Structures are given as C-alpha cells and as structure tokens.
C-alpha cells in the first residue's frame, strides 16, 4: 500500500472510531445527573449525602483523592479526616472559609508536603455550581467532623461557581476553560484537559498515570489514539483502569475535542520518544 492510501485509511479509522467513541462514552460511564437535585430546604445531612455523590461523580475528586485510605497517594492529600483538620489549616481562617478556598482557589494555599495541581472545580471543565460546591463542603465536613453547611451558608467565594448546570456561563480562566472547536494544538489540548495532572511529559516520573515522555517509542500513533480515546481498552501494565476515562468524561473531553485537535495531540505525544 502506498503511503497516501495508508494515511487515508488511518484517518478514516480515526474518524469512525471517534464517532463510535462519541456515542459509546455516555452509555459506558454513568454519572449522577448533571446537576444534583438540590433543594433549598435540604438539611445539612441531606446536603452531605448529595455532596458525596458529587465527589464520586461529576466532581471527579476520586480521580485524584482517596478518602480514608491506608495507602493514600503521596501526590494527593487523603480527605478522610478533612472535616477535623480544615479549621486549623490556616491561622485565623474558619473551617468553612478554608474548604471554600481549597475548592474555588486551590492554588492560593498548598497543603504541606503536596504540590499544586488541583483544578478550580467551580470552573470548566469540572464546573460545579455554587450550590453543588456547598453540598461538597457539607460532605467534606462530615469526614472526621460535623456538617453545618446548608444552601443558605455564605462564604467569601459565593457567586464564583459555574452559573449553568454545564458550566457554560462561567468565566473562562487560564487553561481550564475549553471552548468547543477552540482549534488547540497538541500542547494546548494537553494543558486544557489537564492531562498533566496525571502524566509527566518531559521526565520519566510516574504520577497517577505512566510518564508519557517516551510514549512515542512504546506505542504507535494508532495505539496512542486508542489509549486516549478509549483508555480502558488496553491498560498500561500496573496502572488502574477507570480513572482516566472518568476524569476525561467528566471534563467533556470526548465531546469537546475535535478530530483535528486529537490528531495534533497524538502527533505531539508521538514526538516524545524519551530522547
């Protein structure tokens, strides 16, 4: 086969696979409703239950954090006791203010022994609404402490969450806001969808996922394509399934990324051969 024909077939395969994945993903991974049903008259206990669902679902928190695990990650703080420690993390800052800040503006305070890397969850791609964040806060309080937050609770960050259920009304900021058809290049896609929170690309260090600094020498472009668009089809040895597709699914990656952007991303990754 000549090269032109091969490229043509490769592109066809990619397009077919892309639309297949597009249809398959929502059925394969089931999330709680886009916006959890939160009613103004919910008790703090009911709110905490809704918050637990958001943490496990739309919030994608468990892609990084563990809750009360004995072998917690060295990179992401375990949240099993956050309700007990939140009030004493920053001198003079109340528990509620600290929890709000750690969710709305994670980089303003970095937990001792950890590195930055937590996305602001009130902004796209995660885009929780202010009410959803209150529910998450009620749940976090219950971990080692007592919930007090209700939907009437205010804090200095109120009004900064996504305004719509899909986060579309939120103010874009930094690399986290991804517009449909943004026409990103490979490094742009990598940054916008926070691939770097789980993968290094310029050094061999292992994070949640394998380092990608030599991925171009280990996988063909087609394999890289599959690893990105259908992550659980073939798992990198020694790494967990589920985490990457859940995180990318929740960020809207599979819906938002265009075929051109995917191609640019695959080329960018393939160029990293570890040399």
Question: Looking up tokens 């905490």, which residue turns up?
Answer: 48
- Contact flag: residue 197 with ligand HEC (CB under 6 A): yes
- The residue within the footprint of ligand HEC, chosen from 47, 184, 194, 229 (CB under 6 A), is 194
Q: Residue 143 in contact with residue 172, Cβ under 8 Å?
A: no
Residue nearer to ligand HEC on the CB measure, 3 or 162: 162
Residues numbered 149-188 forming contacts with ligand HEC, rule: CB under 6 A: none
Q: Name the token pair of 74.
A: 């060295």
Query: CB of residue 4 vs ligand HEC: minimum separation in angstroms?
Result: 27
Give the contact letters, 109-148, x = binds to ligand HEC (CB under 6 A), - = no: -xx--x-xxxx-x--------------x---x--------
Q: How many residues bind ligand HEC (CB under 6 A)?
A: 56
- Contact flag: residue 221 with ligand HEC (CB under 6 A): no
Question: Looking up tokens 């309080």, which residue turns up?
Answer: 141
Q: Residue 88 in contact with residue 173, Cβ under 8 Å?
A: no
Q: Residue 82 in contact with residue 140, Cβ under 8 Å?
A: yes
- The residue within the footprint of ligand HEC, chosen from 24, 49, 89, 90 (CB under 6 A), is 89
Residue nearer to ligand HEC on the CB measure, 90 or 151: 90
Burial 54-65 (b: 16+ CB within 10 A, else e): bbbbbbbbbbbb
Instruction: Give the C-alpha separation, 12 to 175, whole Å.
Output: 30
In this structure, what are the phi and psi dihedrals at residue 97, rounded to the nearest 5 degrees? Answer: -65, -40
In this structure, what are the phi and psi dihedrals at residue 36, rounded to the nearest 5 degrees? Answer: -60, 150
Instruction: Give the C-alpha separation, 168 to 116, whole Å.
Output: 25
What is the number of other CB atoms lying within 10 angstroms of the CB of residue 99? 26
Residue nearer to ligand HEC on the CB measure, 8 or 202: 202
What is the number of other CB atoms lying within 10 angstroms of the CB of residue 241? 13
- Contact flag: residue 199 with ligand HEC (CB under 6 A): yes
> Which of 259, 180, 190 lies closest to 18, judged by CA?
259
- The residue within the footprint of ligand HEC, chosen from 208, 221, 230, 267 (CB under 6 A), is 208
Residues numbered 223-252 forming contacts with ligand HEC, rule: CB under 6 A: 224, 227-228, 231-232, 235-236, 239-241, 243-244, 247-248
- Contact flag: residue 48 with ligand HEC (CB under 6 A): no
Contacting residues toward ligand HEC, per CB under 6 A:
55, 59-61, 63-65, 76-77, 79, 82, 89, 102-103, 106, 110-111, 114, 116-119, 121, 136, 140, 190, 193-195, 197-199, 208-210, 212, 215, 218-219, 224, 227-228, 231-232, 235-236, 239-241, 243-244, 247-248, 253, 265, 269
């Amino acid at each position: 086969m000549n090269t032109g024909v091969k490229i043509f077939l490769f592109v066809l395969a990619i397009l077919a696979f892309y639309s297949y994945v597009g249809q398959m993903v929502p059925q394969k991974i089931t999330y709680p409703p886009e916006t959890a049903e939160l009613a103004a008259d919910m008790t703090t206990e009911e709110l905490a239950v809704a918050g637990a669902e958001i943490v496990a679902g739309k919030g994608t928190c468990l892609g990084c954090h563990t809750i009360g695990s004995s072998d917690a990650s060295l990179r992401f703080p375990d949240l099993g006791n956050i309700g007990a420690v939140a009030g004493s993390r920053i001198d003079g800052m109340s528990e509620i203010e600290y929890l709000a800040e750690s969710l709305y503006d994670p980089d303003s305070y970095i937990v001792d022994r950890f590195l930055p890397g937590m996305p602001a969850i009130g902004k796209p791609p995660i885009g929780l609404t202010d009410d959803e964040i209150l529910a998450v806060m009620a749940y976090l309080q219950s971990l080692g402490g007592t919930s007090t937050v209700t939907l009437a609770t205010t804090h200095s960050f109120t009004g900064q969450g996504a305004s719509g259920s899909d986060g579309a009304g939120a103010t874009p900021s930094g690399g986290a806001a991804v517009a449909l058809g943004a026409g990103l290049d490979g490094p742009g896609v990598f940054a916008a969808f926070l691939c770097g929170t789980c993968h290094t690309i310029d050094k061999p260090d292992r994070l949640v996922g394998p380092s990608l600094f030599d991925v171009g020498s280990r996988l063909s472009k087609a394999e890289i394509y599959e690893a990105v668009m259908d992550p659980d089809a073939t798992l990198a040895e020694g790494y967990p399934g589920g985490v990457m597709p859940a995180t990318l699914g929740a960020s809207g990656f599979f819906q938002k990324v265009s075929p051109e952007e995917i191609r640019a991303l695959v080329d960018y990754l393939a160029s990293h051969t570890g040399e």
